[in-house]
């Protein structure tokens, strides 16, 4: 199987000491050279990034603010993430749209900042009725040279947290569609895009989903919270 990016999204779960224990166990349990990204709560990031040196585990945030600095009480900036050694940032997750009314315009601003500060963006798409509109809005003013630095995850709303993962052939169709939309937008034949899927992935269905060369990344929510289950998902994806 070609190399994949396996992303865990802990959402609003796990305290710093729990994340440290999780990572120490994960290091022992994984037999994979895939890239593993743990998107942990903000407060866990410094603890996590301290103990992943010299491994294939990277630390990601689940969000950041769309401005560089200023009077935005309670927000976390890209520079703050950078200062605590955050490698990745998840942008545009459906739960942020659902509970915090996040818009594609905001996601686009965040994407521009993540690329500027060299934090690798993981962009979720699939919650707008038109994939084309959604992608065009999110990629507004993003230069062609940056496209290969972005991980695109297709996450259909009805698959997030429901136990109903999308059928593999449908995932592949959507991934091809996303690739075509991006290639047409830039009038460029991108051959190395990182495209993936998220929604109700677990250790029982992961092999079927990842066992093809179109899907090079997966985003795992609830099944990443159990360290042994996530280690199985990682090992089955290798």
Which part of the chain contacts ligand PGA (CB under 6 A), choosing from 25-33, 46-54, 181-189, 197-205? Answer: 197-205
Token pair, residue 233, equals 């998902």
Q: Under the criterion CB under 6 A, does residue 16 sit at the interface with ligand PGA?
A: no
CB of 92 to ligand PGA, least distance (A): 11
Known catalytic membership, residue 155? yes
In the complex with ligand PGA, the residue whose CB is nearer, 36 or 77, is 36
CB of 94 to ligand PGA, least distance (A): 7
Distances in whole angstroms, Cα of residue 232 to Cα of each of 21, 143, 196, 229: 17, 37, 19, 5
Q: Under the criterion CB under 6 A, does residue 219 sit at the interface with ligand PGA?
A: yes
Residue (of 51, 8, 33, 11) closest to 153 by Cα position: 8
Cross-strand bridge partners of residue 38: 8, 59
What is the C-alpha separation between 223 and 225, in angstroms, rounded?
5
Which part of the chain contacts ligand PGA (CB under 6 A), choosing from 56-64, 134-142, 180-188, 217-225? Answer: 217-225
Residue (of 76, 55, 181) closest to 119 by Cα position: 76
Treating both helix axes as pointing N-terminal to C-terminal, what angle do 104-116 and 131-138 enclose, rounded to 10 degrees? Answer: 40
Q: Under the criterion CB under 6 A, does residue 220 sit at the interface with ligand PGA?
A: yes
Q: Restricting to residues 149-168, which ones interact with ligand PGA according to CB under 6 A?
A: 155, 160-161
Q: Restricting to residues 87-126, which ones interact with ligand PGA according to CB under 6 A?
A: none
Helix count and strand count (H, E) for the chain: 9, 8
Tell me which of 77, 127, 194, 200 binds ligand PGA, using CB under 6 A. Answer: 200
Which residues contribute to the site for ligand PGA (CB under 6 A)?
9, 155, 160-161, 198-201, 219-223
Catalytic amino acids? 93, 155
């Amino acid at each position: 199987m070609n190399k994949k990016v396996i992303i865990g999204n802990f959402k609003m779960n796990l305290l710093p000491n729990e994340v440290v224990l999780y990572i120490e166990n994960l290091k022992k349990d994984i037999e994979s050279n895939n890239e593993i990204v743990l998107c942990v709560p903000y407060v866990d990031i410094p603890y996590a990034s301290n103990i992943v040196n010299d491994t294939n585990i990277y630390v990601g945030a689940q969000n950041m603010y769309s401005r560089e600095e200023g009077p935005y009480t309670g927000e976390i900036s890209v520079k703050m993430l950078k200062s605590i050694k955050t490698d990745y940032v998840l942008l545009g997750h459906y739960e942020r749209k659902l509970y915090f009314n996040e818009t594609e315009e905001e996601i686009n601003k965040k994407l521009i900042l993540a690329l500027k500060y060299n934090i690798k963006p993981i962009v979720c798409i699939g919650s707008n009725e038109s994939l084309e509109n959604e992608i065009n809005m999110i990629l507004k003013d993003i230069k062609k040279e940056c496209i290969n630095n972005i991980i695109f995850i297709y996450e259909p709303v009805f698959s997030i947290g429901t136990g109903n993962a999308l059928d593999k052939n449908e995932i592949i169709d959507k991934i091809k569609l996303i690739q075509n939309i991006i290639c047409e937008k830039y009038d460029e034949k991108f051959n190395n895009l990182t495209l993936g899927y998220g929604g109700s992935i677990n250790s029982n269905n992961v092999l079927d989903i990842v066992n093809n060369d179109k899907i090079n990344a997966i985003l795992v929510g609830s099944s990443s919270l159990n360290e042994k289950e996530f280690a199985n998902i990682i090992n089955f994806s290798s």
